[in-house]
Amino acid sequence: MGAGGLKILEHKNIRERSQRTAWFQDARFGMFIHWGLYAIPARGEWVRSTERIRHEDYLEYFREFDAAEYEPREWARLAKKAGMKYAVLTAKHHDGFCLWDTKLTDFKSTNTPAGRDMVREYLEAFREEGLKAGLYFSIIDWRHPDFPHYGDRQHPLRDDPAEKNDARDFNRYLDFMHSQIRELLTGYGRLDIMWFDFSYGKMKGAAWKAQELISMVRSLQPWLVVDNRLEGSGEESGTILTANPSDYAGDFACPEQMIPPGGIMNELGQPVPWEACITLNNHWGYCAADSHWKSADMVIRMLVECVSKGGNLLLNVGPDAKGRIPAASAAVLEEVGRWMADNGESIYGCGAAAYPKPEWGRFTQKGKKLYAHVFEPQAGGVCLPGLAGKVGALRLLADGSEVRAAKYWNLAEYPEHVFFHLNPQSFDSYPLPDPRDTVVEVRLKT
C-alpha cells in the first residue's frame, strides 16, 4: 500500500474511533468495580501473586464465596447518585475466577455457594438505572494450565522450578481466552465497554493474536469501546499515539493511578480519548486494612482536572466478600454526587478549554460556555485572564444566580482581563461559596 493508502487508513481508524467514543467523551465519569475471590483474604486483588499462593490453596476462598449481600441494584443506584454515567465490572481478574456462568471452566461464581451469575445481574441492574455498562477481562490467567507459570513476570508460581512450561500449549490457552470473550459478547446483550488487561514485556499485541481477537470483537459488537491494553500497558500506550494506530490499538488510552500532565495527543497533534483509572483508597480489590480514603474534595478536583485535559475519570470501588461497597467509599461517592447534582453541567460533554489554566483553579468548556472552577479563595477579584470584551454574562452554576463583573477601582490597571467577586459586599472571594469547587458559568460572546 502506498503512502496515500496509509493516509486514508489512518484517517478512517481515527474517524471510526471518534464515532465509537462520542458517548464516552460526553459521560466523563465512571465507576470501576474490582470484585472476586480476593475479597475474602481482603489483602488486595494481587494477593495470589504477591503471596505466591498455589491454586489448590486458593480454592479455600472458592469454596466459601457466598456473596450473601450482593445487590447490584444498590451499586447501580450509588453510581447514579454519584453522578457517574457508566461502570466497568471485573468479569475475570488475573486469578482466573469468572463472575459469569462460563461453559469453558468450572472456576466460576455459579459453582460457588453463591450460585449466581454475577455478570448478568450486574448488567441488568446498571441498564435499569440508565447507565452504560461494560466489563473488564484479564487476558492473563494464573489458573489456566497452559498459561506460562515458571519465569513469568507475576505468576504465583513464577519461582518454582517444578512448574516448567515445556508441556504447556499457549495456543490452546489463546483459544480458551478468545472463546471466553466470545461468550461475553454473545450471551449478555449489548455491552458498552470491554476493558482488557494487560500486556507486558513480549506478551502484547501479536502474542495475544490481537488482530484476530479485535476482528471478532468488531464483528460481534462494532460499537464497543475498547481500551488500549491489548497492545499497550500501564507503562506505555502503544500505537494509539501514532498517526497510524493498529486495528487493536484501542479506542482510548488508560493512564493508571495518575492524571497525565496535559491532554493526551497523537503525533499529529490530535486529541486521543483517555481515561484515568484511579482507586478510592490504595487498592483495587477489597483490602480490610486500607483506610487511606481519598476525600470527596480530592475526587471532585481529580474529575475536574481530567475533564479540563480532555479525559475521563474511572473511579474504583472494591466490594467486600459479602458484596457490599464499603461504607467509606459510599460516603465519598454520595458527597461527590451532591456536588455533581449542582455542577454536573460543567463536566458532562465538556473538555479542555481554549484558554490556559488559571492560577486559582481550572477551566472546562462546552461550546460558548466556559466553566471557571474556583478552588482557591482570592484576595480581591477572581481574574479571567485575557477575556475582556468576550464575556456576555456570569452565573453561579449551583443556583443560576448572577455573578457581576467587577468594576472596582483597584482593577483599573488591568483592562485586558475580566474580574468578578464571589463576595461582592467585601470585594473579595473569601470564603468560597463552595470550598470543594465553586463553579462560575462564563457565557462567552464569541
Q: What is the pLDDT of residues 298-357, one digit of tens each?
A: 999 999 999 999 999 999 999 999 999 999 999 999 999 999 999 999 999 999 999 999
**Residue the block writes with cell 506460562:** 148
**224-246, pLDDT tens digit by residue?**
999 999 999 888 999 999 999 99
With 0-12 / 13-18 / 19 or more C-beta atoms within 10 angstroms meaning exposed / middle / buried, residue 9 is middle
- Asked if residues 204 and 228 have their Cβ atoms less than 8 Å apart, the reply is no
Question: Where does the pLDDT of residue 6 fall: very low under 50, low under 70, confident under 90, or very high at 90 and above?
Answer: very low
> Which domains does the chain show, CATH number per domain?
3-346 (3.20.20.80), 361-444 (2.60.40.1180)
pLDDT given for residue 4 in this prediction:
42
Nearest to 136 by CA among 210, 30, 257, 58: 30
Through-space distance between the first and last CA atoms of the chain, rounded to whole angstroms: 44
Residue 425 has pLDDT above 70, yes or no: yes
**Residues facing residue 88 across a β-bridge:** 32, 134
Which strand ranges, in their side-by-side order, compose the sheet holding 369-374?
361-366, 369-374, 438-444, 391-396
pLDDT at 71 over 90: yes
Measured CA to CA, the distance from residue 137 to residue 44 in angstroms comes to 17
Give me the pLDDT at residue 2, please. 37
- Give the burial string for 228-253 (b: 16+ CB within 10 Å, else e): bbbbbbbeebbbbbebbbbbbbbbbb
Phi, psi of 209 (to 5 degrees): 55, 50
Alpha helices in 188-322 (DSSP H): 210-220, 296-308
Position 291 confidence tier, pLDDT thresholds 50, 70, 90? very high
Rounded to the nearest angstrom, the gap between the alpha carbon of residue 80 and the centroid of all alpha carbons in its chain is 15
List, for residues 41-59, the tens digit of each pLDDT value: 999 999 999 999 999 999 9
Rounded Cα gap, residues 146 and 165, in angstroms: 8
Instruction: Return mean pLDDT, the chain.
Output: 96
Q: Exposure pattern of 372-383 as b/e (b: 16+ CB <10 Å)?
A: bbbbebbeebbb
Residues 154-160 have a mean pLDDT of 98
The secondary structure of 144-190 as a DSSP string is STTS--TT-SS-TTTT-GGG-STT--HHHHHHHHHHHHHHHHHHS--
Is the confidence at residue 3, as pLDDT, over 80? no
Q: What amino acid is encoded at 368 in this protein? A: K
Q: For 428-436, what is the mean pLDDT? A: 95
What proportion of the chain, given as a percentage, has pLDDT over 70? 98
pLDDT band at residue 1 using 50, 70 and 90 as cut-offs: very low
How many CA atoms are closer than 13 Å to the CA of 273, on its beta-carbon side? 24
Q: If we measure between CA atoms, which residue out of 135, 145, 166 comes closest to residue 96?
A: 145
The cell numbers describing 224, all together, are 464497543
Q: For residue 324, give every residue at least 6 positions away whose Cβ sits within 8 Å of its Cβ, in sequence order, or none.
A: 69
Q: How confident is the model at residue 11 (pLDDT cuts 50, 70, 90)?
A: low
Q: Find the helix or strand (DSSP H, E) in which 127 lies.
A: helix 118-128
Q: Give the pLDDT confidence score for residue 12 in this predicted structure.
A: 80
Question: Which segments of 344-400 does DSSP mark as H helices, in order?
Answer: none
Contacts of 59 (CB under 8 A, 6+ apart): none
Q: How far apart are CA 290 and CA 42, in angstroms?
A: 10
Per-residue model confidence (pLDDT) at position 304: 99
User: What does the pLDDT read at residue 234?
Assistant: 80
Q: What pLDDT was estimated at residue 7?
A: 45
Looking up cell 461550546, which residue turns up? 367
Three-state secondary structure along 413-426? CCCCCEEECCECCC
Task: Compare 83 and 2 and report the one with higher pLDDT.
Answer: 83
* Residue 276 cell numbers, joined: 484515568
- The pLDDT assigned to 14 comes to 87
Cα–Cα dist 14/240, whole Å: 9
User: Could you tell me how far CA 128 lies from the centroid of its own chain?
Assistant: 21
How large a percentage of the chain has pLDDT more than 90? 93
Residue 96: is its pLDDT beyond 60? yes
| Mean pLDDT value of segment 188-214 | 97
pLDDT above 90 for 8: no
Q: Sign of the CA dihedral 293, 363, 78, 182?
A: negative
Concatenated DSSP letters of 313-324: EEEEE---TTSP
Instruction: Return the pLDDT at 408.
Output: 87
* Cβ neighbours, 10 Å, residue 288: 14
Query: pTM of the prediction?
Result: 0.96
Confidence (pLDDT) at 231: 96
